[in-house]
Amino acid sequence: MNVGYKIVNDPIYGLIEIPSGIIFELIEHPIFQRLRRINQLGLSHYVYPGATHNRFNHSIGAMHLTIQAIEILKSKGVAITPEEAEGVIIAILLHDLGHGPFSHSLENQLLLVNHEFLSISLMEQLNDRFDGKLNLAIKIFTNVYHKKFLHQLVSGQLDMDRMDYLTRDSFFTGVQEGKVGYDRILKTLNVHNDKLVIEFKGIYSVEQFLNARRLMYWQVYLHKNVICSCEMLGQIIRRAKFLINKGEELPISNTLKFFLSQDLDKADLLNNKAQILNYFYCLDDSDILMAIKEFTNHSDFILSFLSTNLLERKLLKVVIKNKPIEIDFLKKVSDKVQEKYPTLSEEDLSYLVFEGKEANQAYNIRKEEIHIMLKDGSVRPISEWQEHGIHRIEIVKYFACYPKLAELD
């Protein structure tokens, strides 16, 4: 692998060498540089003040782990050509191009297309600009390349994406339970029958990885106030779109207005790819933050109330339960809010009093399983070890959010 003298200093891994040539050129490209302006954990810094790292940091880190994984696999006799190595490095580097403002917080609200499809679309656009040099990377990313284990390095239940974000998010939130022994997992990687496997001596590191993922979801990603702040952000965007559709002019960027003034889905993207992608890669956290600041002085009560409270971190009350929120409870809350603000319509109340649910499953046996290579060379899925069963349970939490003035005794 042709590694030049370009390096970045990463707080997790120390000095990271950036391969010269097309990989460095892709990192320098405006489409990739945009990831500096996309917060990795959305509004999680409202709960964990250090969580202000971005998708750029994460993508560079995932690239670094992938380079290490390739070298380890090659040292064990796994056939990986220089072209394949470059392809999988590009695939992991660009895997998050499709994230919108505040990452998952507003997914499917500005554009009804998931971030994976947007990532592929942006990779294809870059491929045109780089004269087809991303062909192999796109094949690996979309899992149509014949060496399937290369795709597993990019997307799987033990991929370099997850390994970096758990390590990085744990570091920046200060949640020690999320720490992952990535170095030992990397050193026990191998390939068997075109599948990525973990040698038996790495099984407990994988167990710790799965446990860390489960704990990070409930302590960080799905913390009740993280959920609430993201939901408030979503309600602000929903209200802004409602007002624009009524013909009101809002103090927002032209980029954000493009997405709020119309309902765009996958069919629109396929029919008008160039224009939509050009607007999309100009859209980042700053468009949303600027809009929220302006909305605090807007004449619309709902828009102003939610924006002011989110900006000042005066979050709504959150109730979390293990079963669906009772209709009677929501009605009592809505009645109390309407007593305070009698001019609100039933539709207005839906922006202030709402419910939802979140679910997490640390390990899904219906997907490509993590396979363990035993000392005799045979391979078994990790789910066959009984002690790993806890990670297969899907945990569902139901929540309700409402203004604190409506708290019930």
* pLDDT tens by residue, 383-402: 887 454 556 678 899 999 99
Kindly tell me if the per-residue pLDDT of 408 is higher than 80.
Answer: no
Domain range for 29 is 3-223+368-395
Kindly state whether residues 317 and 386 are assigned to the same domain: no
Residue 278 lies in a domain: no
> pLDDT value at position 365?
75
Kindly tell me if the per-residue pLDDT of 153 is higher than 60.
Answer: yes
- Radius of gyration in angstroms for the set of CA atoms belonging to the chain, rounded to a whole number: 23
pLDDT band at residue 361 using 50, 70 and 90 as cut-offs? confident
How many domains are contained in the chain? 2
- Within a 13 Å sphere around the CA of 108, how many CA atoms are in the beta-carbon half? 2
Kindly state whether residues 123 and 256 are assigned to the same domain: no
Kindly state whether residues 199 and 230 are assigned to the same domain: no
CA 289 to chain centre: 19
Q: What percent of the chain has pLDDT over 70?
A: 96
Kindly tell me if the per-residue pLDDT of 123 is higher than 50.
Answer: yes
Classify residue 267 as exposed, middle or buried by CB count within 10 Å of its CB (0-12, 13-18, 19+).
exposed
Mean pLDDT of 270-283: 96
Cα separation, 152 vs 88, in Å, equals 10
CB atoms within 10 A of CB 101: 25
3-state secondary structure 126-170: HHHHCCCCCHHHHHHHCCCCCCHHHHHHHCCCCCHHHHHHHHHHH
Kindly state whether residues 333 and 373 are assigned to the same domain: no
Kindly state whether residues 373 and 254 are assigned to the same domain: no
Kindly tell me if the per-residue pLDDT of 191 is higher than 70.
Answer: yes
Which of 65-74, 365-374, 384-393 is modeled with the greatest confidence?
A: 65-74
CB atoms within 10 A of CB 217: 18
Cα separation, 145 vs 83, in Å, equals 13
Provide the CATH number for the domain around residue 325.
1.20.1250.30
> pLDDT value at position 389?
55
CB-based contacts of 355: which residues, under 8 Å, 6+ apart?
324, 325, 330, 398, 399, 400, 401
**Taking a C-beta distance cutoff of 8 angstroms, is the pair 31, 92 a contact?**
no
Residue 78 lies in a domain: yes
Q: Which is nearest to 319 in space by CA: 403, 250, 390, 379? A: 403
**Rounded to the nearest 10 degrees, how much is the dihedral formed by the CA atoms of 286, 289, 294, 300?**
130
Q: Phi-psi category of 298—alpha, beta or left, where left has phi over 0 and alpha has psi -120 to 50?
A: beta
Mean pLDDT of 163-168: 97
CA 197 to chain centre: 25
> pLDDT value at position 407?
55
Kindly state whether residues 125 and 97 are assigned to the same domain: yes
Kindly state whether residues 237 and 187 are assigned to the same domain: no
